[in-house]
Amino acid sequence: MAGSIRLRKQPNVWELRVFLGRDASGKVKHRYSTFVGSKRDAERELARQLLLLEEAPAPVLEGTKWNKRTTFNEAIEAWRENGWGDLSPKTQMAYQQLWNKYIREDIGTRSISATGIYEVERYLRKLADGGLGESGIRQIRAILHRSCKLAGKWSNGAIPNPISGAERPKSPRRDPVRAPSITEVRTILSALEASGDLRLHAFCRLAIATGMRRGEIAAIRLNDIDFVTGELRVDEGVVIGSGGVTVKTPKTAVSIRKLFVDQTTLDLLGKLRDQQLALAARCELELSDDAFLFSFDPGCATPPYPDVFSKNFAKFRTDYAIPKDIHLHSFRHFAATFLDALVSERQKQARMGWSTTHMSRHYTDVVSDEDKRAAEAIGEVLS
């Protein structure tokens, strides 16, 4: 909060000016008053006005007061009530978990105005020393930065943003996700077949053969697969939010695409379809055309949680002595690596659903012969 005094033309007559912040258009606002007396008394009066203004409640959202005592928790709460709805359900859930676990009982209780950059950096380093990874620290800093930025706007500039100048601690470099070798992939597929878990087997086989994301596979419906031509439509993904799973269209257009699937993978998907149909019949249900292929629901009306497949694969990996550094996402890396020497970079990007500055097109209606050759080649290698 800032203010100033200025002597008027008359002796011992002072103009007091108090900074009130900025309006919605960014224009600076001041409050002016006149004081008669000595300069020292005028300075005391100005200090009194500044103190009253600083401590005065300024409700911008119901239940929130913007002043020097406003805490990080209050700012985050206000943002949650007025802004989190614009975030995806998955992001909302992630932010809520990080807030509850790392912020609420720690820096969240502190006054924003009384917290400096040094304290913020010490807090972030404490998280790193406690074992929190780079991604988690980056997200926590983003939560704090955005909430403080909004608090500054909603308080007309009265609340600073100590996060803007704070740097994240450097994290030790982690090994990138490893693409398994062809031998390892063949071993995994053989073990999956031996396990008798048809759903997990089909899920992993499709991930290996196409490089699809796990959320994309979980969202596959019966009418997305043409069991005659071998074409597979990818136009949805499953995301996890606080209210459960949600099926959403991809954020980028290039993720909407059609792929060819090799015959062995297609046959495995057909077996899973038949299994789901048989289960529905036993429950006296009928599967609709838009039923979710990998659903655990007898009627396949609800999509599965992608996390379930990650946990099931982790258990399978332990049971069959699969290397611990192979995860579901490793299969996407395997597919990308395999395609390097097989198809053009443009086709690789299209099949994987990547978006770059050099390629904005996406496959929604046409699947190229090159993609079909890629599917057949990877199918032969995995057989």
Query: For 241-261, what is each residue's pLDDT tens digit?
Result: 666 788 888 877 778 899 999
Q: What is the pTM of this model?
A: 0.61
Lowest pLDDT segment from 65-79, 270-284, 294-308, 354-368: 354-368
Q: What is the mean pLDDT of residues 354-379?
A: 58
Lowest pLDDT segment from 49-58, 132-141, 180-189, 221-230: 49-58
- Top pLDDT among 233 and 363 is at 233
pLDDT, residue 65, reads 66
Q: What is the mean pLDDT of residues 357-365?
A: 36
pLDDT, residue 91, reads 86
pLDDT, residue 349, reads 79
Lowest pLDDT segment from 39-53, 111-125, 153-167, 279-293: 39-53
pLDDT at position 381 over 90: no
Q: What is the pLDDT of residues 307-357, one digit of tens each?
A: 999 999 999 999 999 999 999 999 999 988 888 777 777 777 778 887 663
pLDDT, residue 64, reads 53
Lowest pLDDT segment from 32-36, 157-161, 374-378: 374-378
CB 147 within 8 A of CB 110: no
The backbone torsions φ and ψ at residue 292, rounded to the nearest 5 degrees and listed phi first, read -85, 120
The backbone torsions φ and ψ at residue 252, rounded to the nearest 5 degrees and listed phi first, read -115, 150
Q: How far apart are CA 89 and CA 292, in angstroms?
A: 20
3-state helix, strand, coil in the chain (%, to 5): 50, 15, 40
pLDDT at position 1 over 50: no
Place of tokens 């990308």: 336
What are the strands, taking DSSP E only, across the chain? 3-7, 13-22, 28-36, 231-234, 237-241, 244-248, 257-260
The residues pairing with 14 across neighbouring beta strands, listed in sequence order, are 7, 35
Structure tokens at 219: 């969202």
Q: Of 239, 186, 233, 184, nearest to 212 (Cα)?
A: 233
